[in-house]
Amino acid sequence: MALRYALSEIRKHGTDRTWWRKRFLTHAVSRYFTDVRRPPATPVVEKDWDNLIVLDACRYDLFEEVHAETPLPGTLEKRRSVQSGTPGFLTENFADGEFHDTVYVTGNPYVNTDLPEETFHAVESVWKDGWDDDLQTVRPQTMADRTLSVAEKYPDKRIISHFLQPHAPFVGDVQLGERETFAIREQAMGNENATTRHRTPFEMLEAGEVSYDEVWTAYRSNLESSWPAVRQLLENLQGLTAVTSDHGNAMGERAWPFPIRVYGHPLGILIPALTEVPWLTHQNGTRKDVSADRPVDVDRQVDEKTNERLRMLGYAE
């Protein structure tokens, strides 16, 4: 059955160079990086923080560029993420542990679908009720407001706030690409018909339809759209707050030692463009007195069928 499916896929996509590149990345390059030459990386759960702001898909050099022009309070360093996509970041950081001293505030549905049900004390699913239907994302200010509310509700818990920006769709002042649907969210909400998605700006770059500078400018603008909300959290959350990312985005960098270019953020491709992320820390007042308590009931609103579809969809790969 597997061979028949493989032959069918080859007949269907055999002349598509992009399809072959993605298959090679998945079946050869990712295995090399994960099984043969895995770069050293420190999980975020082993770092020191009271509050963690995760800017989805923010590579270090992008953050550094914006920070140099509009500094945030705190000290900026570089760290290496354990994975090159959100599902891997979540699984490798959290799936094997219990973090009952932590509340996860998320604009990203993968937190609900890819982790065991009692991983955290609570999960605040902003992607369910804080969604902007026009922009097809969660606005940064919505995430900041909800995070501050959750921090007030749970003063003795560590807080993770997972923004969607600067991940596509690019909804800053400079916009690029289509954003009519967000299939990951629709699948998690139970819409079984949401099986298609639009190409990301990184796939458009790969196809030669837009330039590197066009994508970088829109990518940067998307990060800048989150800047005021991130600053608000840094200035108002109690304790030690860290700003980081789960992974970056590749824009044609090669996956050395393989002479193949990478676009977007395929899982398991542990190159610097995808794993070098910011680590900015800032402390307000005294550190939190954190305690662990039994998890609260969470309405995850997903089923196994949806879960499998999400894993197949990925982000853009």
Q: What residue segments make up the domains of the chain, in order of their start?
A: 43-313
Q: Are 241 and 232 in contact (CB under 8 A)?
A: no
| pLDDT value, residue 192 | 55
Average pLDDT of the segment spanning 209-232: 97
- In this structure, the number of other CB atoms found within 10 A of the CB of residue 291 comes to 10
Task: Give per-residue burial for 155-185: e unless 16+ CB within 10 Å, then b.
Answer: eebbbbbbbbbbbbbbbbebebbebebbbbb
Hey, is 91 helix, strand or coil? helix
Q: Is the pLDDT of residue 294 over 80?
A: yes
Q: Are 90 and 84 in contact (CB under 8 A)?
A: no
**pLDDT tens digits, 122-157:** 999 999 999 998 888 999 999 999 999 999 999 999
Could you tell me the pTM of the whole model?
0.86
Round the average pLDDT of the chain to a whole number and report it: 85
What would be the CATH architecture of the domain defined by 43-313?
A: 3-Layer(aba) Sandwich (3.40)
**pLDDT tens digits, 30-83:** 888 888 889 999 999 999 999 999 999 999 999 999 999 999 999 999 999 999
